[in-house]
Amino acid sequence: MAVHTEKLERVTLVTLDRPQVRNAVDAATARALHQAFVDFEHDDTADVAVFHGAGGHFCAGADLTGVEDRSFAARLQEVLDALRDLSCPTIAAVDGAALGAGTQLAVACDLRVATAGASFGIPAGKLGLMVNHWTVQRVATLAGPSTARAILLAAEVVRGDHAVRIGFANREGDLDTALAWATEIARLAPLTLAGHKVMLNRLEVPPVDADGAVEAAFDRAWTSADLQEGLDAFRARRTAEFHGR
């Protein structure tokens, strides 16, 4: 099973379990994650969720062996929306790689605990694809505009210890650290936390694209020859050659 949950008193541990591919997300895994978050939202006994990856990595991104077009981006966004909108606090326990979809899953959580050697990044520019506007907004809000530009425009990777220093991650530590923090949070008033979470999420005004420029750019990237070149290069383990078309 690619996704499984474990109840630890008032904390629920959600594990992404595809260690053979560093927990990369394919279409089937995205569906399983979405269902896990939907089921969790209907569990009245769960006060805090901790999300992590098995085998030493959080999530190395999308499993590009099954990505062909923007339909995967839409499916992943359903997962991110479900995770973001959970009424209880959520903590990402990040170790190893949290790249691409891994960083997206981490920032969809309310809080992040990262080991010093964890790595956050969005290497979309190396593949010819794009993340959506919500991801750009959330990364810029949490990491700061300057670091967000380095992540998104230079495909730079941010180590876990640096992520903690700049506030992109809240605490340095491992899964045990995240579970201990979740246990502390679970003792707080759940209706208060749920209400504060609603208000915090409302601060994120939906991105406005009055002239359609963002949607047009997204379409260009996801239907481009560059995307096919990026995917082909990834599968052949070679460096992609992009031509902007």
Nearest to 157 by CA among 114, 192, 196: 114
Looking at residue 62, the DSSP 8-state letter turns out to be B
Would you state the structure tokens that stand for residue 90, as one six-digit string? 């959520």
Record the pTM.
Answer: 0.94
Structural element, H or E, at residue 172: strand 171-172
Q: Which of 43-47, 91-95, 174-178 has the lowest mean pLDDT?
A: 43-47
pLDDT tier for residue 85 given thresholds of 50, 70 and 90: very high
Tens-place pLDDT, residues 99-124: 999 999 999 999 999 999 999 999 99
Tens-place pLDDT, residues 22-66: 999 999 999 999 999 999 888 777 799 999 999 999 999 998 876
- Bridge partners (DSSP) of residue 6 are 13
Structural element, H or E, at residue 235: helix 225-236
In this predicted structure, the answer to whether residue 129 has a pLDDT above a threshold of 80 is yes
Domain ranges of the chain: 3-186
Would you state the structure tokens that stand for residue 133, as one six-digit string? 């506007």
Cα atoms in the Cβ-side hemisphere of radius 13 Å centred on 220: 9
CA distance 23 to 158: 19
> Class of 3-186 per CATH?
alpha beta
